[in-house]
Structure formats: structure tokens, C-alpha cells
Amino acid sequence: MGYNGPLAINVTLFDKMPYDPLKDLAPITLAVKASQYLVVNPATGITSAKDLVAKAKAAPSKYSYGSVALGSASHLTMEMFKSAAGFRMTHIPYRGAGPAVTDLIAGNIDAGFFVPGNVQQFVKEGRLRLLATSGSKRFASTPDIPTLIELGYKDFEATSWIGFLAPGGTPAPIIDRYNREIVKILNQPDIRKRLIEMEFDIVASSPKQFSDWIRTEIGRWGKVIKDTGAKAE
């Protein structure tokens, strides 16, 4: 199983890679995608994405955001948003979602992009505030929270995703058999129900579609990394 970091982001983030995801791996299926929430600490007084942009533009040195790691989707999605909206904000990278969300709740940072499982409980408790989502459609569980596309940021889609792959050079009949079986499993009613409860969008793509998606994501995240100068330490 692989996800966007090792398969797409790291290609540009690192100067040298010990593998080529497009040559050394054979895509089977893109299983699921997960949009992220743009969240803030309610104590900031920020009530919308537009409000966040306005306040950050007015006082860029005042605000900071946290991410689950340098070069993560959590980090680069905010960099993509900063570039699209034309504001600045200090980045504080953490080692995982736990400490980042803890500091966000404590008010040590002001904002961040996180997947639903990291923040939804704290939103229900009133300790965090949702502003927008980074996917192409709204979450079913929060239908009142708009996408950034709806807010005027054209083609803004930044998702975390998980897929299945085999070693490069695996014969096509084996790839096709794996694809049929995994897609069948992903579409089982009990599996679908559980994944939807976890706020995943079920994709269950073909090998070719997954390969094309990886290429698209390498270009998407590569542009953000180049534009912002982000590099792995």
C-alpha cells in the first residue's frame, strides 16, 4: 500500500530518491481519497476562509499554522492555499498529527489543514472551528462547510490518498487479477460503509487510471514545492 507522500510528493521534495515510483512500482488501484479540513482555533476570532486570508494579509507575522510534517499534504496544502490567496503565515512542522492538533487547540498555532479523523471530535467539542475543505466536494457529515473551489479558488483540490501497488515489471495478468479482487472488496457493502464512516471517498480505479493519477499528483505537488522552495531536511 502506498500514499501521496512516497509516491508523488517526495519525487520533488527530495533531491535524490532511492526509487522511481513510476518505474519501480506497478499501480493496481487507487483505493480511496480523503479531503482535508481547513481549521482554526476559535480564539483567533477567525470565522471563515475569507476572514483568515484578510487577517493574515493584514498581519502576516502574527499568524502561524501547523502541519503533521515537513513536506506532508498537511504542509503543502496550506502552501498551495497561501499561493492561491496571496497571503503569508509562518509554518510550524510537527512530528505527526497528534502534537500539531494539541498545539492548535492550546492556541500555540492558529490554523492548519488536517484530515477529518484528526479534528472532527474537537470540532464537536467546540475546541476547533472548520472553515473549508480541500476536496472537490463537501463532506457528507458537514454539508454546510464549503470547498475552497466553491469559495473561488479554481481547481483547488488537495487530497490525501491510498492505493495498492506491486513491484515494477509484475506481469499484466497478475496486476489485472489483483485489481479485480481488490476493487470487489472495496465495493462490498460492509467495507464501503466503514470507509464512508471514516470520511474516505472510495475510488477503486483501474491500473491505468491510478498510474495517470500518480503522474498528475507528481506535477501538482511538484509545482507547489518549487513555487514555495520547500525541501526535506
Q: pLDDT of 50-109, one tens digit each?
A: 999 999 999 989 999 999 988 888 999 999 999 999 999 999 999 999 999 999 999 999
pLDDT for the residue 160: 87
Considering the chain, what is the average pLDDT of its residues?
A: 93
Residue 109 has a CB neighbour count (10 Å cut-off) of: 25
User: What confidence category does residue 128 fall into, taking pLDDT thresholds of 50, 70 and 90?
Assistant: very high
Q: Is the pLDDT of residue 24 over 80?
A: yes
- Between CA 104 and CA 57 the distance in angstroms is 20
What average pLDDT does the segment 165-189 reach?
A: 97
Please identify which residue in the block is written with the cell numbers 513510476. Answer: 22
- Between CA 218 and CA 23 the distance in angstroms is 14
What average pLDDT does the segment 162-191 reach?
A: 97
What distance lies between CA 173 and its chain's CA centroid?
A: 32
- Between CA 202 and CA 200 the distance in angstroms is 6
2-34+159-226 to CATH, choices 2.60.40.1150, 3.40.190.150, 3.40.30.10, 3.40.50.1220 = 3.40.190.150
Q: Name the superfamily (CATH) of residues 37-133.
A: Periplasmic binding protein-like II (3.40.190.10)
Compute and round to an integer the Cα radius of gyration of the chain: 18
| The model's pTM | 0.84
What distance lies between CA 128 and its chain's CA centroid?
A: 19
Q: Is the pLDDT of residue 217 over 90?
A: yes
Check if the beta carbon of residue 97 is closer than 8 Å to that of residue 114.
Answer: yes
Return residue ranges of the chain for CATH 3.40.190.150. 2-34+159-226
User: What confidence category does residue 203 fall into, taking pLDDT thresholds of 50, 70 and 90?
Assistant: very high
**CA 123 → CA 30, 90, 149, 228, distances in Å?**
29, 23, 22, 30
Return residue ranges of the chain for CATH 3.40.190.10. 37-133
What distance lies between CA 66 and its chain's CA centroid?
A: 14
User: What confidence category does residue 114 fall into, taking pLDDT thresholds of 50, 70 and 90?
Assistant: very high
For residue 12, give the C-alpha cell: 520533488
Q: What is the three-class DSSP state of 84?
A: helix
Residue 74 has a CB neighbour count (10 Å cut-off) of: 25
Among 94, 134, 176, 91, CA closest to 4: 134
